[in-house]
Amino acid sequence: MSALAQYLIKNGYKVSGYDDFSGEQISLLRRLGIDVYTSDTVEQAIESLKSSDVVVYTDAIQPNHFLFAYALNSSKKMISRGDFLGGILKNFTHSIGVSGSHGKTTCTAMCAHVLQEANVPFSAHIGGLDVDFGNFYSNGTEYFLTEACEYKKNILKLACESAIVLNIDADHMECYSNEEDLIKTFKSFCKSSSKAFVCADDKNCQKLGEFPSFGIDNQFSDYRAVNLKSNGEKYQFTVQEYGKDLCRVRLNARGRCNVYNALATFSLMRSYGFDEKEIARGIENFSAVKRRFEEMGRAKGVIYICDYAHHPKEILSTVKTAQGVCEGNLYVIFQPHTYSRTKNLMGEFVESLRNIENLAIYKTYPAREYFDETGSAKTLADNVGGCLYFEHIRELKTWIKRTAKAGDTLLFLGAGDIYFIAERILLEMQS
């Protein structure tokens, strides 16, 4: 939503907004001249809404939220975030949607760095904060990059010229009748695009149909990484294009998952005619997105790393990456995101967490949901067994202070407020 607000203000619209909580992005929007209200300024938020011509709302909002209900009762023109984003795409010559259960933000940011390296006019709508671009960048209307989120089937609201599908895993299943419905939605997204690129190594992507593909293990991938080498979880590899060596790439972002993001970027950009060396340089210029294996700092010799991983497969991948760079003991602190996800994927979460040594589970970040014991972090911890459970920051901090020693690594995982909890503990430990 904050990236859309930046797009609007850049194009001369008067914008205001509301969020229940303040944060870094709200401060940025205010510096850009956007009035953003919070729970401390509810009356001003209502007055601003009264004077608004259009209300754009996130699909994650609860129907009984006071501002949403007020807008409905006031007969305001209302547009969902997905529909609004779909309308914006029409203002660009080429539109690109990056989809998948994992990796959308990183791949979108990686593509943006290639377009910058190629010096073409583009705008990028990124779901996280790229260290160079933030979550929005714009210098023209030839290309538009955006994440295509499957939550509530929002990807079907985006008529993209090009589509990328990185992977498909059971997630947001409260919005789908079953896994077949989820796969069908991604397939519709691909078919609605002029061209689509899918991961040949992903079993569910293989069910989408015949589209140009990328992969590592599947030898029939149109774009394939071979001769992989890793140094501190930073990979280098040769990109093959239809079986022929194209160029060598050295990633500056950690994790094997970024090999797939790079291959997806290659397959897309080559379809637009970009030079392979130009693409490689752009990919190599990309270093990180905040909260994607971000080293936050050190305190008393202990390394603090935070990652957005909140799905069982993401957890396994991120822990493996951490194990590849950690020299001392690795301590993992995981915060589940929403009760419904934890409940729907309880078995998968237990399977991915039960073999992690030095595991702590922190209370659920509920987001838009109400308490559900069957999907709570405490229930998850009980099912995993052999791990610690914390409900308060002071308890977590005390455990860290007593346990982690110089040379050890703390890995904080989750899509909720665990990042800010880690940040707070780090600052207190540094003082």
Work out the pLDDT band at 105, boundaries 50, 70, 90: very high
Q: Tokens 């791990």 map to which residue?
A: 387
**pLDDT at 40 exceeding the cut of 90:** no
pLDDT at 64: 86
> What pLDDT digit, counting tens, does each position of 340-399 carry?
999 999 999 999 999 999 999 999 999 878 899 999 999 999 999 999 999 999 999 999
Spatial neighbors of 153 by CB under 8 A, at least 6 apart, are: 175, 176, 185
Cβ count near 56 (within 10 Å): 19
Token code pair at residue 57: 């709302």
Q: At 323, is the pLDDT very low, low, confident or very high (cuts 50, 70, 90)?
A: very high
Residue 286 φ/ψ region, left for φ over 0, alpha for ψ in the -120 to 50 degree band, beta for the rest = beta
More confident residue, 333 or 34: 333
Tokens of 346: 């309880």
Count of all residues that appear for the chain in the document: 431
Cα 332-336-337 angle, rounded to 5 deg: 135
The mean pLDDT value for 399-404 works out to: 95
Confidence (pLDDT) at 133: 92
Phi, psi for residue 242 in degrees, rounded to 5: 50, 45
Return the biggest CA–CA distance within the chain: 63
Q: Are 233 and 292 in contact (CB under 8 A)?
A: no
Q: For the chain, give the mean pLDDT.
A: 93
| Count of beta carbons in the 10 Å neighbourhood of residue 400 | 21
pLDDT digits (tens, 9 = 90+) for 160-206: 999 999 999 887 778 888 999 999 999 999 999 999 999 999 999 99
Question: Which percentage of the chain shows pLDDT scores above 90?
Answer: 77
Work out the average pLDDT over 424-429.
95
Instruction: List C-alpha distances in Å: 227 to 242, 248, 306.
Output: 16, 10, 29
Predicted pLDDT of residue 388: 97
Nearest to 127 by CA among 27, 254, 2, 262: 2
Contact status, residue 174 vs residue 166, Cβ threshold 8 Å: no
Q: Positive or negative, the Cα torsion across 172, 175, 178, 182? A: negative
> Residue 291 and residue 159: Cα distance in Å, rounded?
29
Per residue in 17-28, pLDDT (tens digit) is: 998 877 778 888
Q: What percent of the chain has pLDDT over 70?
A: 100
Lowest mean pLDDT among 166-180, 263-277, 329-343: 166-180
Which pLDDT band, with edges at 50, 70 and 90, does 422 fall under? very high
Task: Select the more confidently predicted residue: 64 or 22.
Answer: 64
348 by Cβ neighbours in 10 Å (0-12 / 13-18 / 19+) ranks as middle
